[in-house]
Amino acid sequence: MKINMLEYNKMLINNNISIIYSGPLWAEGIDGMAEFIQRRLDKDELTLSASQSVFSVFVEQLNNMLMYSVNKEQPENTDKPHTEASKGIFLMGKHDHSYFLQTGNYMKTSSVELLKSRIDHLNTLDKQQLRQFFKEQRKIEDNNPESKGGGIGLIEVARRATSKIDYDFIPCEDGITYFTMYVTI
């Protein structure tokens, strides 16, 4: 199906979206996107902490998707999140001097409750508490070699964001849920 690119382009501009990616996720692909985003941030001449914060949220969000996303078209791969089953959509934009980063991916419904409770908890903490919580969780995860560090990745997102972590879980069929996360910096 041919897309009306002019309309699509207008939609991106009207929503202040400057970068959008949809497709498979893998480490080197993220590297490419990271360079692109860094160049974009350099152009905006931000302070180092502002640019590091946006970059950091991007990295943690993408790592999070890489870890938890499942490809709805290949549900048999849902136990192997590091295979080609990792897929997602990422967008970044700028509006009124603040950046917004949003991700979307399919995930296992069985993991929803844990993820939701983690985010809800982070949203109750202030920056100082988040810093402390990050330290505590890092220590716990360090003693647990099985952990891939997903827990502290989310804390990092919360620490760098200037907003609460906004999210939606949209139930789909067959034990799959669509997850979207939105933060501003």
Partner 1 sequence: MAFYLEKEKTTSTPYLLLDEEKGYMKLEGRSFHEGVTEFFKEIFDWLDVYLTTDFGEFTFDFEMNYFNSSTSKLLHNMLMKMDRYVTDKNKIVVNWITTEDNDIIIECGEDFQEEIEDLTFNMVIR
Segment near partner 1 (CB under 8 A), from 3-11, 52-60, 89-97, 166-174?
52-60
Distance (Å) of CA 184 to CA 141, 153, 164: 27, 16, 8
Pattern 2-41, binding to partner 1, x per CB under 8 A?
Answer: ------------------------xx--xxx-xx------
Candidates 49, 83, 98, 162; binder of partner 1 (CB under 8 A) is: 49
Of residues 67-106, those binding partner 1 (CB under 8 A): none
What lies within 8 Å, CB to CB, of 61 at 6+ separation is 90, 101, 103, 157, 181, 183
Out of 66, 107, 115, 181, point to the residue binding partner 1 (CB under 8 A): 66
Instruction: Give the residue from 79, 78, 61, 84 showing the smallest Cα distance to 157.
Output: 61
Which one among 21, 55, 167, 178 touches partner 1, defined by CB under 8 A?
55
Question: 34 Cβ partners below 8 Å, 6+ apart?
Answer: 55, 58, 59
Q: Where on the chain is the footprint of partner 1 (CB under 8 A)?
A: 26-27, 30-32, 34-35, 47-49, 52-53, 55-56, 59-60, 63, 66, 131, 134-135, 138-139, 141-142, 148-149, 152-153, 155-156
